[in-house]
Amino acid sequence: MKTIVIGAGAIGLSSAYYLRKAGHEVTVIDAGQPGAKASGHNAGWVVPSMSTPVPAPGMMPQALRWMLRKDSPLYVSPSISPKYLGFMLQMLRNCTTARFEAGLEVLSHLSRETLQLFDDMAADGVSFEAHNDPLTMLYTSASNLDKHAAELETMEGHIEDFKWRLLEGSDLAREVPGTVPQLAGGLQTYGDRSLDPASLTQGLTAACRRDGVEFRLGRRARLRSATHGSVTVEVGQEALSADKVVVAAGAWTNEILAGIGSSIALASGKGYGYDLPLQPDGPQHPMYLAEAKVAITPLNSKVRIAGTMGFGKGTNERISRVRAEGLLKSLPAYFTQWPSLPTPAEPWTGLRPMTPDGLPIIGPLPKHHDVLIATGHAMLGVSLAPPTGRLIAELAVGEASSRHLSSLAADRFKL
């Protein structure tokens, strides 16, 4: 079977990897280079313990309250686009405890085998930089700490081999030297991982090439037609046909679907980050600054700082320095001192593909069953790349068995 995958981010590459293993003749098309968008620009956490949907009780009021603060970690870009307003309204409807818990169930089920799948990929020669250090979360507010501790308790019931502990007083000072004395405390999780996301997309690209996947890079694709058993993709002046097409173009997915008059419920969630040089007194293991929503990931050659969630209607990649600098400005609320930088760091940005209920879309387009969608992974696209790719390969051969297929279906939203 001939299959085209549009998008060489973590999701498209993982889909190509598993489709090829399932015997498909696979071509990957990307407008740029593999991992050049969000998949290479993120915190690199593989976190089954954070399998929670973005829409959560209290999330929207917080985002709206912070709308006017130019350096806030969470905000909603104003727009009068009816589609975008409809999206935000649907998201608001998902900010209930019941919807949050239902979403947690689906995401934790999807992520339950991801660590094993990453190990299997590594054993198969997919080369990437990975770390197993525990993840430490720091809180300035005791109520936030209690709330998250309760969430982790729930997670323990969903995720095998997952452990966590409370960090207070001397434990906290020992685990994370240099924290401010006013901190409410910390939580440490065992069973999550971190990796260099760019190394993952490079490793997957190399493994796909090794296995015979063809790449067409620097070529913008758009669907031209989809009839039963044949889908045609426009790539510049060329038209390529295949039995199936997987659209895994992240926040750009609707631009590709527009070619056949289709669309899915998708918005973008803009994030920012910095890559800082390694320093001897810098952080030694991954940390999350809860109120600031900042992730810190020490890697072999740099320390990555990432965060911010800005809901927007399009795919605007403009960098707001004020917003990005909000990440760095949040550090003194947690640390007495932060290693000084020889030169000011340059921020980068990444667009997360967002859905109104915080669950990815993995499945066929309602009216075009040979067009499979794999997007909407929000803050979990790296974590969920292997199980998503495997599920796409199962769907392509008609053997998908996940009990959550309807929760992931493209037609679950009213557009």
Ligand X SMILES: Cc1cc2nc3c(=O)[nH]c(=O)nc-3n(C[C@H](O)[C@H](O)[C@H](O)COP(=O)(O)OP(=O)(O)OC[C@H]3O[C@@H](n4cnc5c(N)ncnc54)[C@H](O)[C@@H]3O)c2cc1C
Which residues here bind ligand X, judged by CB under 6 A? 6-12, 29-32, 36-39, 41-45, 220-221, 248-252, 255-256, 271, 273, 295, 306-307, 350, 352-353, 375, 377-383
Tell which residue, 128, 126, 137, has the closest CA to residue 47. Answer: 137
Helices (H), 245-318: 253-257
Query: Would you say 94 or 194 has its CB closer to ligand X?
Result: 194
CB of 130 to ligand X, least distance (A): 13
CB of 263 to ligand X, least distance (A): 14
User: Which secondary-structure segment (H or E) carries 166?
Assistant: strand 163-167
CB of 363 to ligand X, least distance (A): 15
Query: Would you say 180 or 233 has its CB closer to ligand X?
Result: 233
What span, in angstroms and rounded, lies between the C-alpha atoms of 361 and 86?
18
Query: Would you say 146 or 224 has its CB closer to ligand X?
Result: 224
CB of 353 to ligand X, least distance (A): 5
CB of 198 to ligand X, least distance (A): 11
CB of 97 to ligand X, least distance (A): 24
Query: Would you say 2 or 171 has its CB closer to ligand X?
Result: 2
Query: Would you say 139 or 252 has its CB closer to ligand X?
Result: 252
What span, in angstroms and rounded, lies between the C-alpha atoms of 185 and 340?
25
DSSP 341: P
CB of 379 to ligand X, least distance (A): 5
Query: Would you say 185 or 250 has its CB closer to ligand X?
Result: 250
CB of 154 to ligand X, least distance (A): 20
Instruction: Estimate the share of the chain in helix, then strand, then coil, as percent rounded to the nearest 5.
Output: 35, 25, 40
Query: Which residues does 150 contact at the CB level (< 8 Å), separation at least 6?
Result: none
**124 φ, ψ to 5°?**
-85, 5
CB of 289 to ligand X, least distance (A): 13
Q: Taking a C-beta distance cutoff of 8 angstroms, is the pair 49, 162 a contact?
A: yes
Query: Would you say 185 or 350 has its CB closer to ligand X?
Result: 350
Q: Within a 10 A sphere around the Cβ of 118, how many other Cβ atoms? A: 21
Long-range contacts of 334-342, Cβ-Cβ distance < 8 Å, separation of 24 or more: 334/138, 334/140, 334/179, 334/180, 334/183, 334/289, 334/292, 335/178, 335/179, 335/180, 336/178, 336/179, 336/180, 337/178, 339/276, 339/279, 339/281, 339/282, 341/276, 341/277, 342/277
What span, in angstroms and rounded, lies between the C-alpha atoms of 408 and 373?
10
Query: Would you say 84 or 274 has its CB closer to ligand X?
Result: 274
Measure Cα distances from 28 to 181, 215, 224, 233, 350 in Å: 51, 5, 17, 12, 21
Specify the residue for token string 């296995």.
211
Tell which residue, 343, 394, 380, 382, has the closest CA to residue 129. Answer: 382
What span, in angstroms and rounded, lies between the C-alpha atoms of 17 and 182?
48
Query: Would you say 180 or 200 has its CB closer to ligand X?
Result: 200
